[in-house]
Structure 1
């Protein structure tokens, strides 16, 4: 059994970042053409594009602020002109900020998380899903977080945004399912990436994970590729934790 995404086009927001670039490589390795979104790091995006093309697929980079409707619409126009209409969306980009307590977290951070978690997913759906409806097939995959279940101190702005994202995507799954479009969420734990290797600072975290280790960026990309494929064509509306059991969604 293999994951074959030949003939599909994936758009990965934040595709030049730590998790995003591995998703792009993995999807390209499965045969999907790739649109690599970036906000500021053009050089990193072009490197990912080159890596995807080396795997034999078509790839372009596309710049934009995913919290602005005009930017997302411009992204669609560029991608359609160069590659066609994406039928796989991976909504991965998110605004970074300093975490502190509810009592001291700047209000701008809550607004930023709302825009990059909730409005990001709304805009991507409004701009790109209509073409999926016309084609009768599509995948929307939102990158959530284990934090949405942990609710630990200093996580409030992040959790607020990601829980809002969860609501939007669950409703979207019900609204577009009849068109054979699945909508799911991948929720990473504290992952190891190329830029952020494991270290002793994570000892306490690892001790609380049933597998007693941290996962890596490839673990996230593997699930994204699976959910993008026809192997997952009857899975929708799900929040799937990739955390080694650190958080366990319940029934």
Structure 2
């Protein structure tokens, strides 16, 4: 399917690896020009090299999105390179250190919310005027199953993603009249390099295979994933590309859960 993304200009944050990299690749495959952002310059440069095989232009911006001046630099660099910003994918985020309510100090809450919510708000506020000027835009916020189904040992992360879900819904109502559609994608247990390393470590500690470690995790921690496997980065990236495209013109304010059924509620 041709998603009609050729020539569109996108920002993808947290895009040097994992889900963000997969999203950038899915957009680049469709001919989109992509500005990828992350903190580490060498990782970004390596990702750019991989994405150059596609038709779209790829640039990278090393930035810390908890710094206002870095957010402005990302927006300015992208606009000056491409001439417009049509698509914003807010993917950068942090899980923080897992812990219960009693064990998680307020400072850790603030750190998680700073990246998972406030950086998204700040970057979005800077990008929306460019979209309003064109009368067209797509904003996709990458959340998590935790936003709908919070876990007590990840309480600050879950709360930050719930807040992001709510922000996305409210923003979708505020800017739809300007031709800007806002949606959320909420993955769960996606086999990113980080998750793969976690499974390999668990397998080593328990003296079992990686596949056995994955099945153990599914049984003990994510029993509602009815398809009985982790998701893939591509399954997230391709959905985001569709939501970023003109073909998603009647989808607004939705939260798409790429979770294999992990969230038990409707």
TM-score (normalised: structure 2): 0.89
Change (3 A) 1:205 1:150: farther
- State which of 234, 244, 249 in structure 1 corresponds to 2:260: 244
**Alpha-carbon contact 2:150-2:159 (below 8 Å) kept:** no
Q: How does 1:167-246 map to 2 (within 5 A)?
A: 167-194=166-193, 196-197=195-196, 199=210, 200-207=212-219, 208=223, 209-246=225-262
The one-character-per-residue Cα deviations of 1:58-87 (angstroms, maximum 9, x if unpaired) are: 111012221222221111111122222221
Correspondence for 1:140: 139
**Offset of residue 44 of structure 1:** 1.4
In the alignment, the residues of structure 2 paired with residue 235 and residue 137 of structure 1 have an alpha-carbon distance, to the nearest angstrom, of 14
TM-score (normalised: structure 1): 0.94
**Offset of residue 20 of structure 1:** 0.9
Correspondence for 1:68: 67
Correspondence for 2:46: 47
Structure 1 unmatched runs, 5+ = none
**Offset of residue 95 of structure 1:** 2.6
4+ residue runs over 4 A deviation: none
**Alpha-carbon contact 2:28-2:56 (below 8 Å) kept:** yes
Q: How does 1:25-40 map to 2 (within 5 A)?
A: 25-39=25-39
Correspondence for 1:14: 14
The one-character-per-residue Cα deviations of 1:193-215 (angstroms, maximum 9, x if unpaired) are: 24543633332443421111111
In the alignment, the residues of structure 2 paired with residue 205 and residue 240 of structure 1 have an alpha-carbon distance, to the nearest angstrom, of 23
- Equivalent residue pairs, number: 249
**Offset of residue 37 of structure 1:** 0.2
Correspondence for 1:106: 105
In the alignment, the residues of structure 1 paired with residue 265 and residue 34 of structure 2 have an alpha-carbon distance, to the nearest angstrom, of 31
Report the secondary structure of 2:148's partner residue. Answer: helix
